Amino acid sequence: MVADLDSGVAPATAATAEPAPAAIVDAGPENGSDAGAGVRRPKALGVMFWLAVGYLVVLVLAAIFAEVLPIKDPADTFSGTAKNGPSAEFWFGNDGAGRDIFSRVIYGAQVSLIIASVGATLALLIGGMIGMAAGYYRSRVDTIITTFTDATLVIPPLILALSLILFLDSEAARRVFILIVVFVLLSIAPIARVVRASTLVWSEREFVLAAKTMGARNGRIMFREVLPNVAPALISYSLIVMANLIVVEGAVAFLGLSVPPPTPTWGDMINKGRTDLEAAAHISLVPAAVMFLTVLALNFVGDKLQERYEPRESVL
């Protein structure tokens, strides 16, 4: 009987004990490198991306806290320093009136960043809503919106901006508000086209079609299903729009139609120094270089973010 018990228990124990190690052995490769081999990881942002982000952060913080920073007043003139080059006291040199270019560049960033950021944000909201409606509803709604945006894009942005500013600029004190309105009108059409194209793709995904089949409302589908997937591309493109608005604002300021003096702007500083390019080129080159670096950083960050989200969309 002992032999029978031993012979009956031993196989049962072996039968229950052997699968556990086998399951562990089989689970290892599936959860290990073999399972992750087919997963595409997002591209690394790189050192240049973080340098661009660091530059933008420093510029934004300097513009926000310009009033408390230990820098000179941008309107103060220093005798005997007119057109002087960079020095230990004046890092970027002095302009034709003896004012500190470094402080004027920082205060000039306030105008450019405020107009570009507010304009891009409002255009993001308005253009995003219009683009989502066109891409989701399609049919007659898409035809009307597409016709409007295409007609807006035919007009050169700078000519349209100058025309609207000259027509609306009844008081110089309201130029900031007018510039923001003009730049919003210039940015709605490009943003709407990008959002429309992305919405056309995402509205055909299985989870969107499933939500429609279950009877979900169009508003819920647009904001709960489509918008979270469109947002990454939209945010990255908004940075490129901000860069374009800074360029347009600089061109408008160069023509003397931006914020009136004594508030410094990058475009106005470039314009004031173009008569002294031979004797004191730094007066125009310094603000031009800062504007160039800002636009370059915004474009670079926007492109990198767009590249990072492309693989995530492609594997869905």
Dump pLDDT digits (tens) for 194-218.
888 888 888 888 888 888 888 778 8
The span from the CA of 279 to the CA of 272, in Å, is: 13
Helix (H, G, I), strand (E, B) or coil at 155: coil
Question: At 24, is the pLDDT very low, low, confident or very high (cuts 50, 70, 90)?
Answer: very low
Q: What is the pLDDT of residue 42?
A: 57
Which residue type occupies 293? L
Domains of the chain and CATH, by start: 111-314 (1.10.3720.10)
Residue 174 to residues 17, 99, 146, 248, 250: CA-CA distances in angstroms? Answer: 82, 26, 32, 18, 18
Question: At 54, is the pLDDT very low, low, confident or very high (cuts 50, 70, 90)?
Answer: very high
Q: What is the pLDDT of residue 5?
A: 43
The span from the CA of 150 to the CA of 190, in Å, is: 9
Specify the pTM: 0.73
Question: At 169, is the pLDDT very low, low, confident or very high (cuts 50, 70, 90)?
Answer: low
Q: Which two tokens stand for residue 289?
A: 């270089």
Query: Rounded to 10 degrees, what is the CA torsion of 112, 113, 114, 116?
Result: 80
Question: At 43, is the pLDDT very low, low, confident or very high (cuts 50, 70, 90)?
Answer: low
The partner residues of 100 in beta bridges, in order of sequence, read 94
The span from the CA of 205 to the CA of 201, in Å, is: 7
Q: What is the pLDDT of residue 241?
A: 85
The span from the CA of 159 to the CA of 22, in Å, is: 74
Give the range among 75-79, 156-160, 262-266, 287-291 with minimum mean pLDDT. Answer: 156-160
The span from the CA of 228 to the CA of 208, in Å, is: 12
